[in-house]
Amino acid sequence: MTDSKYFTTTKKGEIFELKSELNNDKKEKKKEAVKKVIASMTVGKDVSALFPDVVNCMQTDNLELKKLVYLYLMNYAKSQPDMAIMAVNTFVKDCEDSNPLIRALAVRTMGCIRVDKITEYLCEPLRKCLKDEDPYVRKTAAVCVAKLYDISATMVEDQGFLDQLKDLLSDSNPMVVANAVAALSEINEASQSGQPLVEMNSVTINKLLTALNECTEWGQVFILDSLANYSPKDEREAQSICERITPRLAHANAAVVLSAVKVLMKLLEMLSSDSDFCATLTKKLAPPLVTLLSSEPEVQYVALRNINLIVQKRPDILKHEMKVFFVKYNDPIYVKLEKLDIMIRLANQSNIAQVLSELKEYATEVDVDFVRKAVRAIGRCAIKVEPSAERCVSTLLDLIQTKVNYVVQEAIVVIKDIFRKYPNKYESIISTLCENLDTLDEPEARASMVWIIGEYAERIDNADELLDSFLEGFQDENAQVQLQLLTAVVKLFLKRPSDTQELVQHVLSLATQDSDNPDLRDRGFIYWRLLSTDPAAAKEVVLADKPLISEETDLLEPTLLDELICHISSLASVYHKPPTAFVEGRGAGVRKSLPNRAAGSANANADQTGEAGQGSESMVIPNQDSLIGDLLSMDINAPAMPAAPASTTSNVDLLGGGLDILLGGPPAADSVAPAGGASSLLGDIFGLAGTSLSVGVQIPKVNWLPAEKGKGLEIQGTFSRRNGEIYMEMTLTNKAMQPMTNFAIQLNKNSFGLVPASPLQAPPLPPNQSTEISLALGTSGPIQRMEPLNNLQVAVKNNIDIFYFACLVHGNVLFAEDGQLDKRVFLNTWKEIPAANELQYSLSGVIGTTDGIASKMTTNNIFTIAKRNVEGQDMLYQSLKLTNNIWVLLELKLQPGNPDATLSLKSRSVEVANIIFAAYEAIIRSP
């Protein structure tokens, strides 16, 4: 007898039993069998072998059985595409069934089966269902179009489904309209072109607003999101839309409320801020936001993150609602911290007493993180509300007296900021702070205390002893504390040189010889050289007046805030980051921004426009309009715009919060020294006095206006940068038979706001003569995005005619002198900028050493932050800042002896990449 008996069995198995049950003649048995199959499928068992048997069960009038079979098909059609074709005829037949539920079920299932072969058969049934008499079938078909677009976009466009979908926006049933809007929004996001598929106009908007009142809550969310993308043509239309949307604020669903708030926040930008309607609408926005705070904690948190944005944009909305943000004992920590943040944003002179009383109470809580934040909040109140500063300092002193270690440490950190905000006002409390010196064990608190001792050394009799006590464990201190100690001891020496000489020598020795921290060593060497070469200069540098810190160092950068307001009720408003930072692929790259107040308001007068221009700290570059029209209509005889004063505010700040926030305070308006003074001072320090400043790369002149187009006037030109100014270098040649006089020049709106700093000073030009012109350009002009970005359109007038030409501004002249980032800021910013905003470029023909290239780059305002050698490759990490405050971070990979190099670029505005790459090419190839 063979061993085959061990491999045979009398049991038929579960699949066999299900197969026989599926082929049973009794309907009930068949239904039970399909339910068993679905149950097995749900728990992860493979029942794909039953595919043909389950498909045979489709031929039934029983709706429940049909649903189960369709569910099975959706799951297994992808793995059995050839078998799935067997079901097509049934689908087509079901799409014409008398029961609308079956028609809708069939078209929905066909849309969910992502098999190309089936997709071909879906078109005709879908077309019929989009025109079906039953609204349930039409609304299901609308969603099916979006699913089909995901599978085959070209088929949807070729078959005309998009037009049918647009027609459904006029449907009589509100749910059909809502689903059509949802489908079109989904298709818009998936679209490669980035262009809106539906041109929103007054008629379409009216239809959506009509449907808004009658559809389900999620339908309302879809419609409101579409309305948020619409820009009304004038203030009157904006007001009308606001009136029709306002009732949604009373909805029970938080998503509908926040979507309505988003639309109203956007439309408020188009309303006159001093109108009664605007004031009424602002009052109406407060109650729904307050109501959201009575929900469960998770919803509260989402609401609070959105409210945080709203309060930054329009603090007036919730200025009378401070009490609702007071912390409850049973709030989770994440809600407490968020409420605390909003309390500070709403703090003002009228409610500060109430706020301080609350904060003092919070500082005695048991939750350490919350207590720390509460103590910091008291400091922020002192900085924000000046009249309350004394009361805040008194509160902080009371907290220090509690002797609770972490409370004392946080108090010292914030008192340091208060000293910087109000110099020579509260220094009398220093002695109290010094009493707690021994209890400090956190780096930030120790660094703050050291800073206070160094800054006010002349008022502390035993300052040298206090600092000496810190130096005993210098090597074990955190880098932050070591840097502060070094600076504090140098300050002390400059104030009391006679009795602190040994101390300063000791700390300089520790910093330069015993430390392996490059930042500490570099600072030590600079101080040493300064003190030994020119103590007067050292005093000017080290004891210079500190810039006052701003009242709000953690506000979001204005352009980012405007973008996030457009994303209220989405994940971006919870993260406080634009979608590009955490979403890759579909729709992530489409940036949204609030409408321009001046442009949106049809009757906005000139004064309002002026105020809007001055008030906004940053401006998004607008799209290009009819440029020829602009040039033809400009007044060529108008006086030139004055040169822009050196300004610290930006047209575009793409560091998502700016350097001010990353470094903990804004740059002072007067902290930028004149170029000549700074260079001569550094020259003296390092023994470089008398050497001339190097000049950036010089791009040869090209022909901008040929003589045949200029009626005999030929203009050759280029751009250069000298002493922090941009110059337009031109050679004017008269090839005509008559003299040329009365020269004038005007520049069209451009991406960088370039305008002549003074009128064109050109002498009369006799025939066959040339003259050299160097025209200084300011950057305070109107901004308009150009294609390409560095395109500059110019009009030149003389006694013969007006001539128009376009030229390209060289990238290197747009690089500002203050483009060097701190290493820490560079690293943090590089991490914050999403991977989608990184571009690579290959450079060829690279000549010279790495140090030589770095030096050449520095001459052109591209600053090397750090240099590393990785596996034989030199890596240069560089930063630059364009004149409109766009920051660009770069990594240059070089291999000694190899003429090819790789340049990686990161910026929040990658549109500038081509300008940067071209500039690198020119600089690297320059002699």
Q: Is the pLDDT of residue 876 over 80?
A: yes
Span of 38-52, 362-376, 465-479, 776-790 with lowest mean pLDDT? 38-52
Q: What is the CATH number of the domain that holds 821?
A: 3.30.310.10
Domain count, the chain: 5
Same domain, 312 and 414: no
Q: Is the pLDDT of residue 629 over 70?
A: no
Whole-angstrom distance between the N-terminal and C-terminal Cα of the chain?
Answer: 94
Q: Which amino acid appears at position 138 of this protein?
A: R
Q: Residue 694's pLDDT band (boundaries 50, 70, 90)?
A: very low
Q: Is residue 342 situated within a structural domain?
A: no
Span of 26-35, 222-231, 488-497, 529-538 with lowest mean pLDDT? 26-35
Beta strands 873-881 and 863-870: pairing type?
Answer: antiparallel
Q: What is the DSSP letter of 459?
A: G
Helix (H, G, I), strand (E, B) or coil at 425: coil
Q: Cβ(725)–Cβ(645) under 8 Å?
A: no
Chosen domain end from 784, 809, 834: 809
What's the whole-number mean pLDDT along residues 913-923?
Answer: 88
Q: Is residue 396 situated within a structural domain?
A: yes
Q: Cβ(152)–Cβ(116) under 8 Å?
A: yes
Same domain, 503 and 566: no
Span of 10-14, 435-439, 733-737, 814-818 with lowest mean pLDDT? 10-14
Q: Cβ(85)–Cβ(117) under 8 Å?
A: yes
Q: Is residue 643 situated within a structural domain?
A: no
Chosen domain end from 393, 421, 441: 441
Exposure string over 357-375, b if 16+ CB within 10 A, otherwise e: ebbbebbeeeeeebbbbbb
Q: Is the pLDDT of residue 757 over 50?
A: yes
Q: Which positions ≥6 away from 14 have C-beta within 8 Å?
A: 40
746 φ, ψ to 5°? -145, 140
550 φ, ψ to 5°? -80, 165
Q: Residue 261's pLDDT band (boundaries 50, 70, 90)?
A: very high
Q: Is residue 612 situated within a structural domain?
A: no
What is the pLDDT at residue 499? Answer: 82
More confident residue, 599 or 708: 708
657 φ, ψ to 5°? 125, -15
Write down how long the chain is: 927
Helix (H, G, I), strand (E, B) or coil at 286: helix
What's the whole-number mean pLDDT along residues 201-207?
Answer: 82
Q: Cβ(238)–Cβ(270) under 8 Å?
A: yes
Helix (H) or strand (E) holding 537: helix 535-542
Expressed as residue numbers, the domain containing 500 is: 443-546
Same domain, 391 and 483: no
What's the whole-number mean pLDDT along residues 516-528?
Answer: 90
Instruction: For residues 788 and 85, give the distance between their C-alpha atoms in angstroms, rounded to a whole number.
Output: 51
- What residues pair up with 877 in beta bridges, in sequence order? 866, 891
User: What stretches of 582-700 show up as alpha helix (H) in DSSP?
Assistant: 597-600, 606-615, 627-633, 658-663, 675-685
What's the whole-number mean pLDDT along residues 771-784?
Answer: 89
Same domain, 461 and 531: yes
Q: Which positions ≥6 away from 151 have C-beta within 8 Å?
A: 114, 116, 119
Q: Residue 29's pLDDT band (boundaries 50, 70, 90)?
A: confident
Span of 369-383, 659-673, 729-743, 745-759 with lowest mean pLDDT? 659-673
Q: Cβ(783)–Cβ(622) under 8 Å?
A: yes
Q: Which amino acid appears at position 18 of this protein?
A: L
Q: Is residue 910 situated within a structural domain?
A: yes
Q: Is the pLDDT of residue 105 over 60?
A: yes
Same domain, 416 and 508: no
Chosen domain end from 441, 457, 486: 441
What is the pLDDT at residue 90? Answer: 75
Q: Cβ(450)–Cβ(467) under 8 Å?
A: yes
What's the whole-number mean pLDDT along residues 673-687?
Answer: 36
What is the pLDDT at residue 10? Answer: 44
More confident residue, 237 or 625: 237
Scan for tokens 């339908």, then name that residue.
219
* Percentage of the chain lying above the pLDDT 70 cut: 84
More confident residue, 199 or 110: 110
Q: Is residue 697 situated within a structural domain?
A: no
Instruction: For residues 389 and 898, give the distance between their C-alpha atoms in angstroms, rounded to a whole number.
Output: 61
Instruction: For residues 467 and 600, give the distance between their C-alpha atoms in angstroms, rounded to a whole number.
Output: 60
Helix (H, G, I), strand (E, B) or coil at 849: coil
Which range of 61-70, 427-436, 483-492 scores highest in mean pLDDT? It is 483-492
State the average pLDDT for the chain.
79
What is the pLDDT at residue 302? Answer: 94
Instruction: For residues 286 and 226, give the distance between their C-alpha atoms in angstroms, rounded to a whole number.
Output: 23
- What residues pair up with 740 in beta bridges, in sequence order? 765
What is the pLDDT at residue 226? Answer: 85
Cis amide linkage into residue 788, ω under 30° from 0: yes
Q: Residue 12's pLDDT band (boundaries 50, 70, 90)?
A: low
Q: Is residue 763 situated within a structural domain?
A: yes
What is the pLDDT at residue 691? Answer: 36
Instruction: For residues 445 and 449, give the distance between their C-alpha atoms in angstroms, rounded to a whole number.
Output: 6
Strands (E), 571-672: none
Same domain, 303 and 259: yes
Same domain, 415 and 456: no
Same domain, 315 and 217: yes
What is the pLDDT at residue 591? Answer: 62
Q: Residue 258's pLDDT band (boundaries 50, 70, 90)?
A: very high
Q: Residue 31's pLDDT band (boundaries 50, 70, 90)?
A: confident
Instruction: For residues 437 and 466, give the distance between their C-alpha atoms in angstroms, rounded to a whole number.
Output: 9
Q: Is the pLDDT of residue 53 over 50?
A: yes
Cα torsion angle, 50, 52, 57, 63, sign? positive
What is the pLDDT at residue 192? Answer: 63
What is the pLDDT at residue 193? Answer: 60
Q: Is residue 668 situated within a structural domain?
A: no
Q: What is the CATH number of the domain that holds 778?
A: 2.60.40.1150
* Torsion on CA atoms 704, 709, 713, 715, rounded to nearest 10: 0
Q: Cβ(417)–Cβ(425) under 8 Å?
A: no
Same domain, 429 and 414: yes
What is the pLDDT at residue 150? Answer: 81
Instruction: For residues 503 and 487, give the distance between their C-alpha atoms in angstroms, rounded to a whole number.
Output: 12
User: What stretches of 473-594 show up as alpha helix (H) in DSSP?
Assistant: 479-495, 501-512, 518-533, 535-542, 558-565, 571-575
What is the pLDDT at residue 909? Answer: 84
What's the whole-number mean pLDDT along residues 224-253?
Answer: 88
Same domain, 819 and 920: yes
Q: How far is CA 176 from CA 132, 183, 219, in A?
A: 11, 10, 9
Q: pLDDT tens across 392-448, in order? A: 888 888 888 888 888 888 888 888 888 888 887 887 888 888 888 778 888 998 899
Of the candidates 216, 213, 191, 188, the residue with the CA atom closest to the CA atom of residue 200: 188
Q: Residue 850's pLDDT band (boundaries 50, 70, 90)?
A: confident
Same domain, 262 and 249: yes
Instruction: For residues 126 and 118, give the distance between their C-alpha atoms in angstroms, rounded to a whole number.
Output: 12
What is the pLDDT at residue 112? Answer: 78
Q: Residue 305's pLDDT band (boundaries 50, 70, 90)?
A: very high
Q: Cβ(718)–Cβ(702) under 8 Å?
A: yes
Span of 87-96, 475-484, 851-860 with lowest mean pLDDT? 87-96
Same domain, 311 and 244: yes
